[in-house]
Amino acid sequence: MSLAKRLILVICALFALVFIGILSITVSNTRHYMSQQLQISSQDTATSLAKSISDSIVSEDIEKLKSIVNAIYDRGFYSRIHIRTVKGKTLVKREMDSIAIKNVPRWFVSLIELKTPVGKQEIITPSFRRSGQIIVSSHPGLAYQELWQIFTDSLWWLSIIGLLSFSAIFFLIRYLMNPITSLQAQANEISKGNFVIQDEIPSTPELKSVATTMNKMSTKVSQMLEAQTELTEQMRTRAYQDSVTELKNRRYFAEQMDHLIKTPEEFDSGTLMLIEISDFKEYNQHYGYVKADELLFKIGAILKKCSKPVVGICLARVSGASFALLAPNIGFDETKKLADKLHTEFEQLHYMNKIDDQATIHVGISFFDGNQNSTELLSMADMALRAAQVKGPNHWHIYDEQNLSQEPVHSAGAWQKLIKQVIDDKSLVLHYQPVKSINNEILHYEVLARLPDQDGNLLNAGTFLPMAQRFGLATAIDLVVIEKLFESMGDENQLHYAVNLSSSSIQDPAFTEWLTALLTDHPHRAQCIIFEMREYSVTSKLNDIKATIHRLRELGCAFSLDHFGSGSPDFGYLLNTKIDYIKIDGGYVHNIERNEDNQFFLKSIVEIAHGLDIKVIGEYVETEVEWHTLKTLNIDGMQGHYIGKPYPDVSGDEENIIKVNL
């Protein structure tokens, strides 16, 4: 087969794959969104009807009920509206014998299933007695029409782009007489998710036209993936972000807190704060919802401002006038300083007359020491909140403050001395946790540092690393870990290791020069190293560290983002930053079998990542059902105690490395 024909086939196959993938992703995401909207519409209509007809139910005014139902049903948005009494007697029922979907082909309806959601609402009389039930089913016709419109628009748009691109390539490539290596290289890069543009355009007219067309195609495909990425970001934002305060919502906070409490490697201790605006209902009624929303936004802004210095903070609006703040690995004194700062900011709102004195803010605080579950920790914070409300306006209270303040803890000086001593002695202990593919094959081992304390206990990184970062010793910790790992590897090593780097290390010129020299001197070992950084650390300083990432990858190392999904909601940076792995944050993995939104998010991320030639790893897989669910999402690998526990030797202990049943 000639070179020209081979090139045409490669380009056609590449574009066909992208064409099918983008079209499938677009239809799938739109279908999921439409299903949610139908469900919301059914339930909202049922709730609204229940309120509006409660008096008519009591009086059994059937004609009035029929007129109300007919007014809604005749608009064509619903396939069934059924009102019945508590005893099951049907008062009004409007239902379509068959659901007709206009202007949409039958094959499309059969192929793309949209379940007809049902909204149910109990009817409560003004005397608070249950008098009946309303059942509302949405009509899927409009949803199918919009879905079909999006499908046809995308199909035409992609077809035109493909036709123009292929036509230009086909007519130009026939005149090529020499190998077009640069074009083949560009096509290969596009297939890997690197949508490169050729800066040097050949002077030969034929080659110049082909190069220009390839650049256009690369740009268009990149734009399509960017659109898909943006859609996924929007869906995640709707699921987990509060629209008024722009903080996380109750659902996200509950999932994150439950995950962190069960993960001592990340969350050894910390503080939970519950913040509540008193008499908010009266404030809302007096000033209106606009002023009330402005107050909520101001409180959210204060919480973000005061908690910004705390690393790994989880902040959310958990109900109408209540907020929650979970701060990992901060002590009693730091918590009091944060509470005082919040108190000052809240007082300032009143002092500057930015809010009425009617709205006072109280803070309840509890501490996590590894012995509480989510319910207990929330209960302690809630009791502290009630105590703060007793104290008066704008007060805070710590649960069991007297006993907490008397507990023996390491002072800052003692922590600093202990960490420096371990660094000087290079007495850090390395543990290794396996990361396995869905076929139970070892992909690599993650290197976990343990710090021996004065009693001989080994402390997790979640315990000592925040203190090391506080004293500017995180880079020294990274240096010791890498040295000890390289000493244990040997030049004949065949295993791969993932090593975490702090943001301070990768931005330190002296450290990066030392690391570059070490990797250059040991090229075989360099090819076995995967450097990991937290997503937040990378995205917040992407421009500063992108060159360092590129430099390390040129030396043969791979690069991974840890806790992906816990940082910035905008992950479009994946399109122009070369990453080899992303590790999904455990908050999305925990109980994923019961969370369809997290499944949708992970499935979208996997599709985008695979399009960019990035492997996806699920962190903190603790149960068999989580493993099975992740496997169905086409994930590349998993890590967690169900897969294998950390162990001082990569050979592991057969009792500590659990064998997954395939």
Q: Tell me what percent of the chain is helix, strand and coil, each rounded to the nearest 5.
A: 55, 15, 30
183 and 293 assigned to the same domain = no
Predicted pLDDT of residue 445: 93
Highest mean pLDDT pick, 147-151, 296-300, 344-348: 296-300
Look at residue 97 and give its three-state secondary structure: coil
The per-residue pLDDT for 411 is 58
Q: Of the spans 205-214, 554-563, 574-583, which averages the highest pLDDT?
A: 554-563
Q: Distance between CA atoms of 298 and 306, rounded to whole angstroms?
A: 12
CB 326 within 8 A of CB 314: yes
Same-domain check for residues 77 and 201: no
- Is pTM beyond 0.95? Reply is no
569 and 620 within one domain: yes
For the segment 356-364, the average pLDDT, to the nearest whole number, is 75
More confident residue, 209 or 294: 294
In this structure, the answer to whether residues 260 and 338 fall within a common structural domain is yes
What's the pLDDT band for 110 if we cut at 50, 70, 90?
confident
Is the pLDDT score of 551 beyond 80? yes
Residue 280: CATH number of its domain? 3.30.70.270
529 pLDDT above the threshold of 90: yes
Place of tokens 């001395």: 417
pLDDT digits (tens, 9 = 90+) for 40-86: 888 888 888 877 777 776 666 777 777 887 877 777 677 788 888 77
If you average pLDDT over residues 135-156, what whole number do you get?
80
Residues 210 and 297 in one domain: no
Asked if residue 307 belongs to a domain, the reply is: yes
Which pLDDT band, with edges at 50, 70 and 90, does 293 fall under? confident
In the prediction, which pLDDT does 179 show? 40
- pLDDT for the residue 86: 78
560 close to 232: Cβ distance less than 8 angstroms: no
Predicted pLDDT at 327 = 87
H or E stretch at 218:
helix 205-240
What's 99's domain CATH number?
A: 3.30.450.20
- Checking 607-612 for CB contacts under 8 A at 24+ apart, the result is 607/21, 607/25, 607/228, 608/225, 608/228, 608/229, 608/232, 608/574, 609/574, 609/582, 610/634, 611/18, 611/21, 611/193, 611/225, 612/192, 612/193, 612/194, 612/225, 612/574, 612/575, 612/579
The amino acid occupying position 232 is T
Same domain, 132 and 279: no
Q: In the numeric block, which tokens belong to residue 301?
A: 């802004």
In a domain, 389, yes or no: yes
- Highest mean predicted confidence (pLDDT) among 212-216, 347-351, 622-626: 622-626
Residue 625's pLDDT band (boundaries 50, 70, 90)?
very high
d(CA 272, CA 400): 13
- pLDDT score of 312 more than 60: yes
- What CATH number did the domain enclosing 443 receive? 3.20.20.450
| 136 and 189 housed in the same domain | no
Task: Calculate mean pLDDT across residues 531-544.
Answer: 78
Residue 31, domain member (yes or no): no
> Of 274 and 575, which is predicted with more confidence?
274
Last residue of a domain, one of 147, 165, 198: 147
The pLDDT confidence band at residue 656, using thresholds 50, 70 and 90, is very low
Domain span holding position 459: 412-638
* Position 476 in a domain: yes
Residue 653's pLDDT is: 44
Rounded to an integer, the average pLDDT of 607-629 is 88
Task: Dump strand ranges (E) for 321-422.
Answer: 322-328, 361-368, 396-398
268 and 305, same domain (yes or no): yes
Task: Tell me, yes or no, whether 646 lies in a domain.
Answer: no
Joined together, the tokens standing for residue 395 give 């007060």
Could you tell me which residue, 659 or 20, shows the higher pLDDT? 20
Residue 87 clears pLDDT 50, i.e. is over it: yes
pLDDT at 457 over 70: yes
How many independent structural domains does the chain possess? 4
Is the model's pLDDT at 140 over the cut of 50?
A: yes
Query: Is-contact 300 247, C-beta < 8 A?
Result: yes
Q: Which of 119, 147, 175 is the last residue of a domain?
A: 147
What tens digit of pLDDT does each residue of 174-190 get?
A: 655 444 566 666 666 66
Quick one: pLDDT at residue 236? 67
In the predicted structure, residue 3 carries a pLDDT above the cut 60: no
Q: Are residues 211 and 311 in the same domain?
A: no
Mean pLDDT of 631-653: 84
Confidence label for 638 from pLDDT (cuts 50, 70 and 90): very high
Higher pLDDT, 207 or 633: 633
**658 within some domain:** no
Degrees, nearest 5: CA angle 13-17-19: 115
Answer whether residue 489 is part of any domain: yes
| Range of 50-54, 174-178, 408-412, 472-476 with top mean pLDDT | 472-476
Domain boundary residue, one of 205, 240, 275: 240
The answer to the question of residue 297 being in a domain is yes
- Asked if residue 365 lies in contact with residue 339, where contact means CB atoms within 8 angstroms, the answer is yes
Instruction: State the helix-helix crossing angle for 250-261 and 374-391, rounded to 10 degrees.
Output: 120
**Based on the domain organization, do 501 and 603 belong to the same domain?**
yes
| Residue 241 Cα to chain centre, angstroms | 11
Distance CA 575, CA 225 (A): 8
Q: Where are the beta strands (DSSP E) in 147-263?
A: 248-249
In the chain, the percentage of residues whose pLDDT exceeds 70 is 83
Q: Is the pLDDT of residue 519 over 70?
A: yes
The listed range with the strongest mean pLDDT (74-88, 110-124, 316-330) is 316-330
Closest CA to 231 of 424, 53, 25: 25
Lowest mean pLDDT: which of 275-289, 373-387, 645-659? 645-659
- Same domain for 277 and 358? yes
Same domain, 446 and 568: yes
Asked whether the predicted pLDDT for residue 660 surpasses 50, the reply is no
Q: What is the per-residue pLDDT for 658?
A: 38
